[in-house]
Chains A and B, each alone.
Chain A
Amino acid sequence: MTVTTSTPKSGSTQRGNRARPGQSSPKLAYLPIIFLAFAIGIPLLIIVVYSFLEKPSQGTGVKWVFTTENYKALFIQQKLDGTTALDTRYLKVLWTSFTYSLITTTVTLILSVPVAMWIATRDARRRTLLVALVTLPFWISILIRTYGMRQIIADEGPIGKFLGLFNIDWSILYSPPATILGLIYVFLPFMILPIYASAERFDFRLAEAAYDLGAKKLTVVRKIILPAIRPGIISGIALVFIPALGSFLQSDMLGGGKTNMVANVIANNFGQARNWPFGSALAVLLIVLTLLFVLIIQGISQRRGDKVELV
């Protein structure tokens, strides 16, 4: 409906209203903005409101009575013996999520920089093919891929059978390393692609020039290449770390379903524990921590003068 109005009429060119190349009417953005406001804003609002309500005595949902108990319960535990104590259970879960995400981000970064650089230095036709290969996993549902990963790394899977030939014991499935492996596998393309996007624009003659002028190889990497691809690296870190923090599937399916990431605890509160208000409070805490992380990244990139906008 609004789409028609966003197409500039031919007559408007004469008044100089026609958008300059690379620009367009802001009206084009209205529909997606309205959609996002509904699809993200309203659920977010519901979560925040629920987190300040009581849970009903029966069934699921909320009771419309204001309370701040849900937030207190994140940090203070009413122990079964009647005493209260600092509740480290959820802090530990958050810490676990944080370390898993950090390891995932670090490993994907180390793996992605050489891959992205290598792709960027191929000729145009092969570049297109290689980028398509990196995005190939997106063609298959993440659930199916995680099931696939489970078959591959299972004790009796291909790796286990192969290592069994040499009498090497292979047992990784249903452990934290399996969860992290699953996270690395799923998030690797999200690191490669932005770094590649930066590297592709890099003029490699600059590196050659630096080398010709006597810079050591490591100096070229440190002083010429890394600064050039830094915006891509920062985007990649944000694209991997933030979703990894809220991951659910990998710890559920590869980690043996043991609740060790914050999203699993949130899911349990909306499911079996039937405590939507507390689950909401935990979700709000996760959102706040994520936002904090985004602001930190943005602060770093702005100080460096990189063009990375996350908020």
Chain B
Amino acid sequence: MLAALAAAGALLLSACGGETTADSGAGETAAATGEFPTTGSGVVNVYNWTDYIDPEELKRFTAETGIEVILDTYDSNETLLAKLQSGATGYDVIVPSDYMVQQMVDLGLLQNIGVRSFPNGGNIKDNLIDVYWDSGRNYTAPWNYGTTGIACNFVAEPECANIKSWKDYFTAGLPKMDSLKDQVEVVSAALRATGVAGDDLCTTDTAKYIAAEELLAGFKPAVIESDGGIERVTAGTSNIRHAWNGSTHRMTVENPDVQCIYPSEGLNLWADNLAIPVGAPNLDNAKIFINWMMGPQAAGAQSNFSGYDNGIKGSDAFMDDSLKTDPAVVVPADKEALISPLPNCGEEARELYTQVFTTWTTGQ
């Protein structure tokens, strides 16, 4: 846990570090393995989050490798897990988040592909190699990562200036408030608001959940939905939203009045990963796809599309300036201490999360 925390801090410090060892690293590894295929034929079935991958980049991938991409999308880690566990074997590449990777490895759903032996395996940012969910990167390659904070339209809602914490957010009682429909994010934010530290979010102390439940009882946002938040905030339907930082970045680009808020109790850091499920029909194509996405240019273009930073060295050379200067994306130095990774809670804590979330949503 402490190691993961340290990694998280370092990761953000280097978020805009501009390391340039990418090319040499890639060359060496490629020479070592010798015969990693770079082109293929047929298809690769990619199962990714909604609105998370640049269609133009997929076209470029097909042009360079001869492999056609078939894209399907999901809206939560749980949907992905349910689909894999119900026996779906048609997918070659999936994009689970940190805690979900650990669960999937435990359940034997992912293939050990030795990502660091890939030609681009040396491109992984140093602090993203020994992560708690896949130490040494045997199963997964890093994809995008980000934080979950608050997006606020400071012009349409002057009260934004008074929202400094999760507690302020949950008790503001303003119109046009908007919440994620994500039980881990909502309940962990409520726990932070009631005094639970970032490294204690998997606590099984029920008293802490009772406090969170009581806080949430008074929180009645106009909308509880994970999808479509960018459209709602830029259209003015919502003014304050519990939001992933990439979404906040895309809102700010559309409407500069929208700015991110770093709640004083701390924020969750999450990291998505590319992985190959057991039973993938096109294993070679899947490896080619993951390796290609670990190239600095592809990773940079992906960040430009999604609004999130990525785990590939040298990709910032290909990233838009608007991304590199947005405090929503690149965490300001004085806010770094607030960030802590979302841990993989045990069954008992997850059950408590479900309890609190159910009581909150059914009490709306």
Contact = CB atoms under 8 A, between A and B. Distances in A.
B237 A173 contact: yes
B362 A257 contact: no
Contacts of A89: 358-359, 362-363
B358 A257 contact: no
Interface in A89-136: 89-90, 92-93
B222 A256 contact: yes
Contacts of B361: 258-259, 265, 268
Interface of B: 76, 78-79, 81-82, 85-86, 103, 106-107, 181-183, 206-207, 209-210, 213, 221-225, 235-237, 347, 350, 352, 354-359, 361-364
Contacts of B236: 155-156
Chief secondary structure at chain B's binding surface: helix
A260 B223 CA distance: 12
Give the contact-size bracket for chain A: 20 to 34
Nearest to A273: B354
A192 to B, nearest CB: 32
Contacts of B103: 58-59
21 contacts: A58-B106, A59-B81, A60-B78, A60-B85, A89-B363, A92-B362, A156-B235, A173-B237, A174-B237, A256-B221, A257-B181, A257-B224, A258-B223, A258-B224, A258-B364, A259-B364, A260-B362, A265-B362, A268-B361, A272-B182, A273-B183
A173 B225 CA distance: 14
A60 B237 CA distance: 35
Contact of B183 (A93, A156, A173, A272): A272
Contacts of B213: 80
Interface centre among A59, A257, A268, A271 (most CB of B within 10 A): A257
Interface centre among B85, B352, B356 (most CB of A within 10 A): B85
B223 A80 contact: no
Contacts of A259: 224, 361-362, 364
A51 to B, nearest CB: 17
A270 B210 contact: no
Contact of A274 (B78, B209, B237): B78
Contacts of B237: 154-156, 173-174
B225 A93 contact: no
Interface string A33-70: 00000000000000000000000011111000000000
A275 interface: yes
Given A258-B223, A273-B354, 9 more contacts: A80-B213, A92-B362, A256-B224, A265-B361, A272-B76, A272-B357, A273-B358, A274-B81, A274-B354
Nearest to B77: A272
A257 B225 contact: yes
Contacts of B181: 257, 272
B174 to A, nearest CB: 14
A82 B364 CA distance: 24
Interface in A138-169: 154-156
A81 interface: yes
Interface string A170-212: 0001110000000000000000000000000000000000000
B133 to A, nearest CB: 14
A47 to B, nearest CB: 14
Contact of B362 (A60, A90, A156, A271): A90
Contacts of A256: 221-225
Contacts of B206: 80-82
B153 to A, nearest CB: 14
A268 B358 CA distance: 9
A257 B347 contact: no
A195 to B, nearest CB: 35
B69 to A, nearest CB: 25
A50 to B, nearest CB: 12
Given A80-B210, A258-B224, A273-B183, A60 B81 contact: yes
A78 to B, nearest CB: 8
